[in-house]
Amino acid sequence: MKQYNLIGLLLVLLGLMGPNPVMSQTPDSLNHYLEVAAKNNPGLNADFLAYKASLEKVPQAGAWPDPKLDIGFFLKPMDLVGGRQIADFTLMQMFPWFGTKKAAQTEATHMAKMAYAQFTETRDNLYLEVYTQWYVLSTLVEQLRNNRDNLQLLKQLEELALRKVSSPFSGSSSGYTVPAPSPATKSSVTTSAGGSMAGMGSMGGAAASSGTSSTSGMSSGMGSSGGGMSSGMGSAAPGMSDVLRVQLEMVEVENNIESILSEIAAEKAKFNALLNRPVDREVILPDSIVKVPFFFDEGVTMDEIENQNPMLDMLAEEELAYRAKGEMEQKMSYPMFGIGLQYMLIGESATAPMDQGMEPEMTGMDMIMPMVSITLPIYRNKYKAEQRESRFLWQSAREKYNNTLNMLQSDLFKLKQQLDDAERKIALYQKQEQLARTTYQLVVQEYVSAKSDLTNVIQVQRQLLDYQLRTAEAIAEYNTRVASIRKLRSFNSPNN
């Protein structure tokens, strides 16, 4: 009956090593967290507000210069022919050279597009951080699940070892023997590899009562008895060392579980900080980490990077802004025109109009005089220096664009190499995990049948857990590299 219990326990133990049953999967809420991060992250909101502020510079650049109004009062009215001048009002509106306002608006528009490209770059960096942190948490959850499964296997293995200790059937090849009987009985007990028992004492009693015996059976019994006696001498608690070794492994796995739980709490706090939420806010994670589908086309990806990467967009807009600035400064080196109106307030003269040879109705008439002004930009060195400055700046922006493009291409090839390496690791570890799983099933069967010892079981179990953890880490690395490639071509890309 006890041997049947061992077989049943073996079936339960091996059943845990099979495919996991389909469990209720938590929906992948990564897209939801990305939306929350885009709405709540303070750094991203700061860049968006800076972009909105830069948009307000466009109407400022296109506005006309404010008109100028000069007002003058005479403390003592000045006598003129025909009256006394009391006050003078002059209104003047200046007009820049043709196209100057348009160039200024163009520069402000490109500066606003630069601010938007900076906002997009900040958003993509935030998304990449969220992706990376999400995969770190998913890896830890996978490791937690694997360690808990491993703990359950160890508990089953502990029960199996305890039953082998308490069972009178144990294998000599595995080192499990019962203590040798006392000298008075002159008999010994050994256990065969298949679990059958042959006792010299009982065989001797049967021979005495029946008067018959088998010579070959007796000789084999004697040999078996001698081996059992020599191996059983001096062992106080046979098999208990295996139980203690399993318990040592369980303690280590329990410590690993506690460490992983603590690390998960810390990583969740970091994840919530990206979302600008309380650090103790719960994060819903999937039950297991899976490899994301991704198709990589080098030519298409390079075109998307060149056309959609926000850093390249920002540098391209910077070059266009400096070009527009240079055009504006060139037009500002031309004259500005002004149109104005002067109004002179004149009162009646204190002397008689006839004395001045004028008609009475002509005295005290206010005067209106249209005016035209023009600036004379004769100091040319200042304007030439401004134009050279703008030219150097847009040339610098172009060189920075080319340098950034080269760096992005280099980063893409590096990420592609890391992506391929992670994919090879996934295939390798999954294959090794499957082989370790099969090996574990066989070595447990051999342990039950006393053809192997506990050391092999624990070693294979450690290898299995290690391959499971490595597989999860390789999948997380692959997914992170995919997110990094998507970030290079911007998360606005239709292929993302």
Angle at 375 between CA 373 and CA 376, to 5 degrees: 135
* Nearest of 253, 279, 276 to residue 265 by alpha carbon: 279
> DSSP label at 354?
G
Report the C-alpha gap between 121 and 119 in whole angstroms: 5
What DSSP letter does each residue of 243-295 carry, written as one string?
HHHHHHHHHHHHHHHHHHHHHHHHHHHHHHHHTTS-TT------SS--PPP--
| pLDDT tens readout for residues 164-175 | 777 655 443 333
pLDDT value of position 359:
58
Bin 436: left if φ > 0, else alpha if -120 < ψ < 50, else beta: alpha
The pLDDT value given to residue 127: 97
Measured in whole angstroms, how far is the alpha carbon of residue 447 from the centre of its chain?
44
- What distance in Å separates the CA atoms of residue 180 and residue 41, rounded to the nearest whole number? 74
- Give the Cα separation of 112 and 119 in Å (integer): 11
Report the distance separating Cα 361 and Cα 344, nearest Å: 18
Per-residue DSSP letter, 33: H
Residue 95 pLDDT exceeds 80:
yes
What is the spatial distance between Cα 461 and Cα 440, in angstroms, rounded to a whole number?
Answer: 7
> What pLDDT, in 10s, does the model give residues 193-220?
333 333 333 333 333 333 333 333 333 3
CB of 122 closer than 8 Å to CB of 37: no
**Pick from 467, 395, 348: nearest CA to 81:** 348
Residue 175's alpha-carbon distances to 179, 445, 447, in angstroms, are 12, 16, 11
Residue 400 has pLDDT above 90, yes or no: yes
User: Could you tell me if 484 and 128 are in contact, meaning their C-beta atoms sit under 8 angstroms apart?
Assistant: yes
Neighbours of 96 (CB within 10 A): 19
Structure tokens given for 65: 């210069």
Percent of the chain with pLDDT over 70: 76
Task: Classify residue 189 by burial, with Cβ atoms within 10 Å: 0-12, 13-18, 19+.
Answer: buried
In the DSSP assignment, the letter for residue 70 is: E
Helix 298-308 with 380-448: angle, nearest 10 deg: 140
The pair of three-digit structure tokens given for residue 247, joined into one six-digit string? 């318990």
d(Cα 92, Cα 267) in Å, to the nearest integer?
66
Whether 83 contacts 77, CB under 8 Å: no
Q: What pLDDT shows up at residue 493?
A: 61
The owner of tokens 């055009």 is: 327
Residues 308 and 110: their CA atoms lie apart, in Å, by 16
Tell me what the mean pLDDT of segment 257-268 comes to: 96
Query: At 78, is the pLDDT very low, low, confident or very high (cuts 50, 70, 90)?
Result: confident
Q: What angle do CA 400, 402, 407 make, to 5 degrees?
A: 90
The burial of 30, by beta-carbon neighbours within 10 Å (0-12 exposed, 13-18 middle, 19 or more buried), is given as middle
Helices 380-448, 310-332: crossing angle, 10 deg rounding: 180
The continuous run of DSSP H or E covering 134 comes out as helix 100-166
pLDDT tens across 6-47, in order? 444 444 444 444 444 333 334 448 999 999 999 999 999 999
Confidence of residue 83 (pLDDT cuts 50, 70, 90): confident
pLDDT at 287: 84
| The 367-374 sheet, strands edge to edge | 68-80, 83-95, 337-347, 367-374
When the pLDDT of each residue in the chain is averaged and rounded to a whole number, the result is 80
pLDDT higher than threshold 80 for residue 424: yes
DSSP for residue 239:
T
Q: What is the largest CA-CA distance in the chain?
A: 179
Position 423, amino acid: E
- Measure Cα distances from 146 to 262, 289, 456, 472 in Å: 16, 12, 20, 10
Paired tokens of 370: 């249209």
Phi, psi of 77 (to 5 degrees): -50, 140
- Region 382-396: mean pLDDT is 95
